């Protein structure tokens, strides 16, 4: 199932996302005794994390049963201001006093961070060789070039089919990024794209309504195998869409 929801502004967008987060999370806890989520970094989710940690939402889910992972990470040390873990910690995890045992992070201080993260995920989900984890929810953003997680246009990781986590060279940024692969993303029970801002409007129209060009527009490669895909977007980013319903 794929669904598009358009919010009038960022505040309304965050409420839509928070409600979906709580609904999916509580359903997973009721069914499986836990809620597994891979979080997104970047600027758009920051205010969502602040809302989830606020009085309005912090008591609406049993946070002791929520297990946090990260869809991608910048290849910087954990205390670096560009580190996704640091941003999420400052805006969500610290305020909710989440125990370290509930947080699985990319160990960017290690040389083989991707291999170690894949091992961590395999052990947590008790995977056999060749199996992929099934997260209850993966939260994604989208860049104005159509990338998602750290799966950038025309990069090697786009075609990776056997790995859970990889290091991905991004020439235009002159850096290596760490990311979950599409095999993992598309195996999730639920995926939420959280998108805001006029700068994303043209590429969002291309992703949703244009020709299939997965190498150029990696977000088009997000196609859950047996799960739900939610596009939660604000009016500014949706302004060029013709086939969307609110």
Reading the block at residue 28, the tokens are: 């997973």
pLDDT tens across the length of the chain (246 residues): 899 999 999 999 999 999 999 999 999 999 999 999 999 998 889 999 999 999 999 999 999 999 999 999 999 999 999 999 999 999 999 999 999 999 999 999 999 999 999 999 999 999 999 999 999 999 999 999 999 999 999 999 999 999 999 999 999 999 999 999 999 999 999 999 999 999 999 999 999 999 999 999 999 999 999 999 999 999 999 999 986 544
User: What residue ranges define each of the domains in the chain, with the CATH number in brackets?
Assistant: 2-234 (3.40.50.1360)
Instruction: Kindly report the pTM of this predicted structure.
Output: 0.96
pLDDT at 246: 46
Q: What is the pLDDT of residues 178-196, one digit of tens each?
A: 999 999 999 999 999 999 9
Q: Which residues contact 63 (CB under 8 A, 6 or more apart)?
A: 96, 98, 102
Q: What is the largest CA-CA distance in the chain?
A: 46
Please, are residues 156 and 150 in contact by the beta-carbon 8 Å criterion?
no
Using the 8-state DSSP alphabet, how is residue 229 labeled? E
Q: What is the pLDDT of residues 131-143, one digit of tens each?
A: 999 999 999 999 9
């Amino acid at each position: 199932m794929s669904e598009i929801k358009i919010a009038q502004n960022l505040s309304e967008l965050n409420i839509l996302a928070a409600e979906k987060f709580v609904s999916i999370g509580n359903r997973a806890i009721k069914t499986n005794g836990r809620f597994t989520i891979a979080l997104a970094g970047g600027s758009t989710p920051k205010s969502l994390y602040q809302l989830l940690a606020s009085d309005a939402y912090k008591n609406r889910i049993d946070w002791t049963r929520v297990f946090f992972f990260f869809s991608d990470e910048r290849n910087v040390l954990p205390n670096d201001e560009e580190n996704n873990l640091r941003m999420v910690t400052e805006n969500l995890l610290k305020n909710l006093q989440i125990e370290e045992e509930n947080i699985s992070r990319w160990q960017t201080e290690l040389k083989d961070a991707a291999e170690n993260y894949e091992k961590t995920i395999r052990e947590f989900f008790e995977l056999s060789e060749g199996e992929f984890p099934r997260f209850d929810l993966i939260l994604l953003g989208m860049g104005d070039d159509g990338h998602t997680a750290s799966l950038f246009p025309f990069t090697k990781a786009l075609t990776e089919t056997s790995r859970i986590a990889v290091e991905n060279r991004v020439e235009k940024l002159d850096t290596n990024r760490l990311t979950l692969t599409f095999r993992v993303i598309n195996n999730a029970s639920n995926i939420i794209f959280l998108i805001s801002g006029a700068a994303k409007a043209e590429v969002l129209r291309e992703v949703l309504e244009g020709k299939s060009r997965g190498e150029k527009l990696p977000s088009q490669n997000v196609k859950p195998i047996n799960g739900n895909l939610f596009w939660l977007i604000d009016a500014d980013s949706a302004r060029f869409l013709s086939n969307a319903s609110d």
